[in-house]
Amino acid sequence: MKIINANVFLNGRFQKLEVRFDESGIREVGKTTAEEDEVIDAKGLDLYPGLIDCHNHGGWMRGFMYQDPDEYGTFAEKVRFLSAKLPSCGVTTVFPTLAGTDYERIAKSVREIRKLRKSCSGAEIGPFQFEGIYPSLKRYMTKEAVNPSIEHTDWLMDHDYSDISMIHVSPDLDGTLEWCDYLAEKGVMPTVGNTQASAFDVYAAADHGLCQADHMFNGFAPMHHRENGAAVGVLLDERIKAQLTCDGYHVSESFIRLLFKCKGIENVYGVTDMSEASGLPEGEHVLPSGKKILAKDGLIYAEDGYINSGNMTMNETMRAAHLRCHLSREEVGLLYAENVARCLNLTDRGKIEAGRKADLTLMDADYNVILTVKNGKTVYRKTDGE
């Protein structure tokens, strides 16, 4: 199979190229030589590598945190629904992101998702990311919160780190440095977030393997000209890659530009931070937990007016990054299409080049998803009614 007449995003720019692929992966990029039985004429549309949503808690009233059965189905049905739904947003790989200090529920989620991966036929359920499980910023603290320790994390992961990508920590907590050493030895990336740590705490943790930052500026103490906070540490430490939410609300355009200027855009990657409430139509809704929320202007608000999460899917976030944050189309492509794989050291996907997985996303100029291919097979095709 091959795609012709596509505006292919490769190496930070759009290029007129052909892409030949099969279920084994991408075979050729450029002027392809082999004849194919099936040819897709992209008619000038934009072709990206299959998008990797590496910070996703769920969507459409379903989440990756374990829940007992409710009106939206069993936990297994919810995970399968998310896998099937995400390709309509251009996503071919999702990192289930488990958050908070309900440790028993997190441990159960890990066990259940591991059982479910092979039964999901849409977006691949990739490695885990754990957010805010060892927090120090006051609004994330609970009476259940504990300091990081090897014993505690071993228990959470069932002593299995083979499918763990990132685990968040506040570097000001006791035990962090030994813990970072242990994770780095396991091939897991210690990640700073939900923290009131100082820049010096961040530097010390980076000496022991901390190399990622959670959605930058969100979950960090506000920057202050007389305080060297964790955000400053991330900005200045070249060893740390930074996640960023570019939906026009979570981070101001000026702070986005500041992050690019300090770290270089190649060291920043876009995330959605979708929650179980994301992807909902505007208006009031009731979560399965009974909590009332309001979906308005791309955000999800709690009853007290506090912003719970964004309401945008991956392609909608890319559109907002372009239209609301005024990023160029090339900058959007870097952040959401190529930089994710680069920053997370993924070499088997996340770029349109020979030898990588045949994961592809075709979009129009308004970031509407037209076609999504996973492992060489079509997993989503836009219909006339959509």
State whether 105 and 57 are in the same domain.
yes
Q: Chain-wide mean pLDDT for the chain?
A: 95
State whether 100 and 135 are in the same domain.
yes
State whether 173 and 289 are in the same domain.
yes
Read off the CATH number of the domain in which 24 is found. 2.30.40.10
273-304: per-residue pLDDT in tens?
Answer: 999 999 999 999 998 888 899 999 888 998 88
Q: Rounded to an integer, what distance in angstroms lies between the CA atom of residue 378 and that of residue 68?
A: 32
Instruction: Determine the pLDDT at residue 309.
Output: 83
150 — pLDDT class (breaks 50, 70, 90): very high
Read off the CATH number of the domain in which 330 is found. 3.20.20.140
State whether 26 and 168 are in the same domain.
no
Q: How many domains does the chain have?
A: 2
Instruction: Determine the pLDDT at residue 67.
Output: 93
47-92: per-residue pLDDT in tens?
Answer: 999 999 999 999 999 999 999 999 999 999 999 999 999 999 999 9
- Listed range (33-47, 100-114, 131-145, 342-356) with the worst mean pLDDT: 33-47
**Locus of tokens 């120090």:** 136
The closest of 376, 279, 296 to 57, measured between CA atoms, is 279
Tokens of 279: 């992807």
Instruction: Determine the pLDDT at residue 62.
Output: 96
State whether 209 and 229 are in the same domain.
yes
Domain that holds residue 17: 2-48+354-381
In DSSP notation, 176-243 reads: HHHHHHHHHHTT-EEEE-SB--BHHHHHHHHTTT--EESSTTTTBPPPBTTB-BHHHHHHH-TT-EEE
Q: Quick check: helix, strand or coil at residue 315?
A: helix
State whether 90 and 219 are in the same domain.
yes
176-235: per-residue pLDDT in tens?
Answer: 999 999 999 999 999 999 999 999 999 999 999 999 999 999 999 999 999 999 999 999
- Give domain status of residue 386, yes or no: no
State whether 37 and 170 are in the same domain.
no
State whether 186 and 83 are in the same domain.
yes
State whether 197 and 323 are in the same domain.
yes
Q: Rounded to an integer, what distance in angstroms lies between the CA atom of residue 148 and that of residue 377?
A: 42
Q: What is the pTM of this model?
A: 0.96
252-267: per-residue pLDDT in tens?
Answer: 999 999 999 999 999 9
- Give domain status of residue 21, yes or no: yes
Q: Rounded to an integer, what distance in angstroms lies between the CA atom of residue 132 and that of residue 214?
A: 9
204-220: per-residue pLDDT in tens?
Answer: 999 999 999 999 999 99
- Give domain status of residue 374, yes or no: yes
State whether 318 and 218 are in the same domain.
yes
State whether 74 and 26 are in the same domain.
no
State whether 55 and 44 are in the same domain.
no
Contact 213, 192 (CB under 8 A): yes
Instruction: Determine the pLDDT at residue 31.
Output: 85
- Give domain status of residue 6, yes or no: yes
- Give domain status of residue 349, yes or no: no
Query: Does 386 have pLDDT greater than 80?
Result: no
**What kind and span of H or E run contains 260?**
helix 253-263
